[in-house]
Amino acid sequence: MSLDLAAERLRHPEVFRGKGWLRWLLLGAVFAYLGYLMWLFDFSRVFTDLPRVWVIVRLMLDWSGIAEWDHVELWRSMLETVAMAYLGTMLAVVFAVPLGFLGARNVIPERVFHFVTRRMFDGLRGLDQLIWALVFVRAMGLGPIAGIMAIAVAETGILAKLFAEAVENIDRKQVEGITSVGAGFIARLRFAVLPQVLPVMISQTLYSIESNSREATILGLVGAGGIGLRLSERIQINAWDQVAYVIILILVSVALIDTTSRYLRLRLIGPART
């Protein structure tokens, strides 16, 4: 079978109408912009200053002074961080459960109310925990209480939104079944809605404790208590061996919490069903 290129080109001109030159132009523009940015940020420093990073890495690996470190303080701070995450998240759950129900369209079918509650959740969650921590450190002084408040406020917004969405996605038939026996508002929420959303609530709460344990290490940097504060102190005095130790402490703690919460999730709500 012979290929009559000219005939095919005549019959289906759109197939051969490539826009290759435009693609090359775009690619060129992207690279030109990258080059401009590198010049703008004095990118060559990445190469000239990189050896200093190696110095730090080498300092991190030298643990000869381990006996003199204040282990009690470091471990206590680590536990404090985990406690902040746990307490802050639980406080958030206490507020987010009722707010989640109130913010669900199928629980309170008032458009204005729904809009106001949802925007409120957005407001709480729109500011990062770090910003809340700065505010609470100013208001309540240095220490873990400010951190707990920061986590609680920001997490309330996140959990309330997720809980409200879980409530909006429930199976209506089960609610109808409970309504049909003469159950009131409270009984419908307790027996038809809650059993359906409880797995989501539990697993989301466990996940929040995990992620807040990570976040809480940062809160310490702005004075809101915990291991973060110890970390920043040690960075400032160039005690890189202890910085490495704290980082490992954090990684191990987070991994431990991850494992525990995965185990709890399995035990409490069972493996995923179809």
Q: Please give the residue ranges that form the binding site for other proteins (CB under 8 A).
A: 171, 173-174, 176-184, 186-187, 190-192, 195-196, 198-199, 273
Measure the CA–CA gap between 160 and 102, rounded to whole angstroms. Answer: 9
In 3D, which of 243, 231, 271, 190 has the Cα closest to residue 63?
A: 243
- Least separation in angstroms between residue 225's CB and other proteins is 35
CB of 195 to other proteins, least distance (A): 4
Q: Cβ closer to other proteins: 205 or 242?
A: 205
Which sign does the torsion angle of CA 134, 140, 146, 151 carry? negative
**At closest approach, how far in Å is the CB of 206 from other proteins?**
18
Closest CB to other proteins among 51 and 184? 184
Q: What is the rounded distance in angstroms from the CA atom of residue 254 to the CA atom of residue 213?
A: 7
Tell me the closest approach of the beta carbon of residue 111 to other proteins, in angstroms.
20
How close are the terminal C-alpha atoms of the chain, in Å?
A: 54
Distance CA 79, CA 65 (A): 23
203 versus 253: smaller Cβ distance to other proteins: 203
Work out how close the CB of 75 gets to other proteins at its nearest, in angstroms, rounded to a whole number. 40
Q: Could you identify the residue written with the tokens 């001109």?
A: 13
Within 10 angstroms of residue 155's Cβ, the number of other Cβ atoms is 29
Question: With respect to other proteins, which residue has the nearer C-beta, 20 or 271?
Answer: 271
Contact 248, 61 (CB under 8 A): no
Between 196 and 211, whose beta carbon lies closer to other proteins? 196
